[in-house]
Structure 1
Amino acid sequence: MRGRRLSAVLFAGALGLAACGEPGSAGGGAPTEPAATATAGAAATCEPVPDEQLVVLEDDKALQTVDNVIPAIHAAAAQPAMIAALDAVSATLDTPALIELNKQVDIERNTSSQAAAGYYERAGIEVTDTSGSGEVVVGAGNFSESATLAELYALALRDAGYAVEVRTIGNRETYEPALESGELTVVPEYVGTLTEFLNLKVNGPDAEPLASPDLDATVEELRGLGEQVGLTFAAPAEAADQNAYAVTAAFAEEHDVSTLSELAEACGGLVLGGPPECPDRPFCQPGLEETYGLDIAEFVSLDAGGPLTKQALTSGEITLGMVFSSDAALATD
């Protein structure tokens, strides 16, 4: 699984992240054979269409658990000025903006602090409560998206009046206890994944999952769990980094599909690529088949949203691949 974070559904187990790189290219043209062949009583069999550009198909029936970005805070250190500053960041941040930030770092090789500073200025983030005081430590997970979000939080918190240090501190198993203890003050987190992490921590390994496709309901569960371990939360951003399913832009255009439901209606005989556990996970192949009625003819074992899956998509080896919704490879320019 991808090192940066576990999907909430994978972490929960009962409901059931690889480095970003430039996608490979096998050319942008369609295959020489017909792209689709119809069979009686079934959707046409749609062949993969190579293309360098990937697009995510909308999860219009809400198969995936929400994983919006949310600032997690050591509750004893929380102050109104701190919450307001973090809310100011969340209010501007949507998934396209997060994709662009990841592109700047993962593809264009800017530092996280450079990418964050440019976005902070372009987005016109304004911190109106400057009454904050004291030292704040913003923690970051050991992957670039978390580091960039941490730098964004730091900029807003400095404008609010705090003396801020940004500290990279490893994976969730390392930084979450540090956040509880107060060694860290703020960490950028993901709603669904953290909900299930705390759910298992508070309620035990057999706890029923609390994260869902409903953002408001999942945030409510997260806040309740946070109260039990000394954490509180600012507002979630619209930006999300969750499991998603992509095709090439050329395939989407050829078959006029933008949602998973439209794909199911238009195409059969699909070749799906993703992590080895995909055929056994409800959020992956079984969910795509049961929720959407997708006709998956073949599964190719690759990785979880990583370079193998993206390369297989762009080169036309697979039709549909599991990616992450904020991946830099989804940038459109």
Structure 2
Amino acid sequence: MSKAVIIGTGSCVPSRSLSNEDLEKMVETSDKWITTRTGIKTRHISGPDEQNYQLASKAAKRALEMAEVDPADIGLIVVATLSPHMIMPSTACFVQAEIGADNAFAYDLNAACAGFTYALDLARHYVQSQPGMKVLVIGSETLSTRVDWQDRNTCVLFGDGAGAAVVTGTEEDRGIIGSKLHSDGNHWDLLYMDSPESQNADLVKEDWQGSLIRMNGGDIFKHAVRNMDEAVKALLDRHRFSIDDLDLLIPHQANIRILRKLQERLKLPDEKVFVNLHKYGNTSAASIPIALDEANRQGMLHKGDLVALCTFGGGLTWGSLLLRW
């Protein structure tokens, strides 16, 4: 059976950088407080002409350029996002028009911070059934549009950005090996964002406080560490690998304490865990593809490397994906 392989990556972040010192002027916080609790030093915030689909399109073009693939050859565009440009049409349709992928069908996927991993697994199944197909998988967010800038517990965490990957079939002994994806809707209220205010009086929520990100950080920490740890170990075990076989782990860049605790539980050295959280903050569905592109362009990924992605987000949604680079 043909395997799905990533042949190009790309990323894009807004030009404006918002530092911890900048946030000190906006809410009651400090660089020391933010750095100690999150590991974040800066995050990028969108400005004019940096809408979600525009960031996604720039990341997509860079991935296509690396892959040496013409936009007309793309058969499917999937954009993972929880902060779409519009509710309808999908951000993916805007990207299709922006890059000229006239032969693709396009849609969005919302699995919060786990979105890119979910979408990449989806692309794998399309490609396995249609080996010649080329799929553009994008994680793109403008979380600055959905953050409560008066809430110091959340506004310091999130940033905007986009990452993309071109996926196609290969007969080589590499590509996506497998995945282990999970959801648990029972804990939705630990991390959520309400919908726009209802225009149907019978469906108005009494406690509606705006379409903004709300989070219980302490409980999220516990679930994130435990679930990502178990997902990575179970996936490696399923495919008869040990943790020592892993060349690089690219986790969702949420919080440095989560990442270090996960690293401790997996017993991985620093050189096997990719971290760029300090530069971008939590960019949700864009987190892993931005990190993947940076690792790729920095020469940290070599042909034959065993690479694991692991993620956790609202829903709750989480999981891992294993691939041979």
TM-score, normalised with respect to structure 1: 0.29
TM-score, normalised with respect to structure 2: 0.29
Greater strand proportion: 2
The structure with more radius of gyration: 1
Q: Which has the higher contact order (CA 8 A, sep 6+)?
A: 1
